Structure 1
């Protein structure tokens, strides 16, 4: 991570703590505060211990504003976590229709991950979210 004003490198524990705090901001939809972390050098696609990105956590928890902000900042909409789950499949699982639409519009791969977004939509009766998509 960059942007440390004192020039001192952060210890691994300090880095983990910063990541944990920022992940919680994504999870709870505190978009402005999360953007401050990004502005201070935290990478948009950094992952937690489970391989979740800010986008994944925001998508799974239905934080549309945060999802859109992460997409605008260049987040990879197809990064999967350590369980091979994609953000779009997670949003389908949770029934977050507006988040699914935002991810699809941003180019989310509907055939990536386990289960794929298409499989999740079929399983949970939400295929209408993917209609007209290829």
Structure 2
């Protein structure tokens, strides 16, 4: 997972953004900081004002991916309620679910699965990550989710 820097470009799609001014970059970075630093009320306020819920940084990390990676359950809930796509891939082929599994976070992983996250996406699937890092709780959760989906 790569963190955004002040020189990153941001987008709501896979298209490259035009060059942004320093003030714009600072503002966009502050939005990602809200997801990283567990500030759900401030983030909700910006979402209510029209900030795209699937905003991505230059590495393809969404607010949801960052919130899952940093284990901020309330931010994950806010973003999912606002319609965040749990299946967006970053530039490394990682989803929010892969991040939650990597962190061995049962609650966030379940929230993402309940929101319809596809457990088969990514360059390494969540199950691959759970096996590689020997995370039995995650292996069990994903096996249960797979059997329920069938």
Shorter-chain TM range is 0.7 to 0.9
Q: How big is the shift at 1:84?
A: 0.8
Per-residue Cα deviation, 1:37-78 (whole angstroms, up to 9, x for no partner): 112221000101211111000001110111011000000000
What is the SS of the residue equivalent to 2:56? coil
Tell me what 1:66 maps to: 75
CA distance in 2, matches of 1:15, 1:46: 14
TM-score (norm 1): 0.87
Per-residue Cα deviation, 1:87-124 (whole angstroms, up to 9, x for no partner): 10111111111110100111111110121111112222
1:94-133 mapped onto 2 (5 Å cutoff): 94-124=103-133, 125=135, 126-133=138-145
CA distance in 2, matches of 1:17, 1:73: 23
Tell me what 1:34 maps to: 43
| Cα root mean square deviation, aligned | 1.4
CA distance in 2, matches of 1:95, 1:132: 16
User: Runs of 5+ in structure 1 lacking a partner?
Assistant: 1-10
Structure 1 runs of 4+ aligned residues shifted over 3 Å read none
> Between Structure 1 and Structure 2, how many residues are aligned?
124
What is the SS of the residue equivalent to 2:87? coil
User: Runs of 5+ in structure 2 lacking a partner?
Assistant: 1-18
